[in-house]
Amino acid sequence: MFRTAQLVLRETKRVLGATTSLRFVGGFSTASNASQRLAGKVAVITGAASGIGKATAEEFIRNGAKVIIADVQDELGHAVATELGPDASYMRCDVADEAQVAAAVDLAVERHGHLDILFSNAGIEGVEPQDDMVTLDLENFDRLMAVNARAALAGIKHAARVMAPRRRGSIICTSSVAGVLPFPAFAMYSISKATSIAIVRATAEPLARDGLRVNAISPGSIMTPLLLRCLGQLSETSSGLSEEIKQMVMEPVEIARAALFLASDEAMYVTGHNLVVDGGYSVHKGVDALVARTASS
């Protein structure tokens, strides 16, 4: 990873030397126009018709970006693009199909001339049960891996294809706190999200050679349609975990703001990182479990 750091530093200095869009205050870089942190940038966001993806599309456009909303929810996707205005457009994209991921990237370049940001955000939770290894449904596991992990790698591949010639670009993958601290009730989902983190870490150095950055965001409980479905399933199989998750729910905009930072030039020195946004849940949950085991022994 030392080589990765060297590459990132070199490319950051090259870009900073070629632009006047940043200034340094107190040792920190800051955009010259704080309300336009993504001015002139073009983004593709998968799963952007609702939840985290929609909130991020709103945040990106508010900060000057043009956004391709890629999703499989056609009616909702078109409605969101209309709601967000002329800087947003929708296209159907099933991220489990590499050709459709490639097409979303190509649309951004065809329509806007280049691609600066890919937010590989689309994901599924899978079906229960996921914690009975004897009756494990491997077809469900394969689907989870196709959407939550393989699609992240497909996004990286095709984003790099168009970003590398310009030697700049930010790729962000949505993982989950479940990829950091597995949820037994969603064991296969946890595996798929842990894999997406591994993909980000493993590709950071190869991407840095081309001046690109790749990072993950691991949200905690975010009030999205996916979470609501999960809570419905958990209330029947693991009511204690369901109540625990309800108590730490955040809004999608919290993740959108994290994505904005990673997408912006303010994060030029950040790559190969998994940014956990969970209110400290993953830090203290392990301690809680240890205390519970100690008390019962």
Catalytic residues: 189
Instruction: Kindly state the tokens that stand for 167.
Output: 């030697």
Question: How far are the Cα atoms of 204, 218, 279, 285 from residue 165, in angstroms, in the given order?
Answer: 17, 29, 38, 44
90-99: string of b/e by CB count within 10 Å (b at 16+)? bbebbbbebe
Report d(CA 203, CA 223) in Å as an integer: 30
Report d(CA 75, CA 255) in Å as an integer: 24
Answer yes or no: are the C-beta atoms of 7 and 278 closer than 8 Å. no
Kind of pairing, strands 88-92 and 274-277? unpaired
Angle of CA points 292, 293, 294, to nearest 5°: 90
Half-sphere exposure of 274 (CA within 13 A, CB side): 24
Strand, coil or helix: what is 174? Answer: strand
Report d(CA 51, CA 61) in Å as an integer: 16
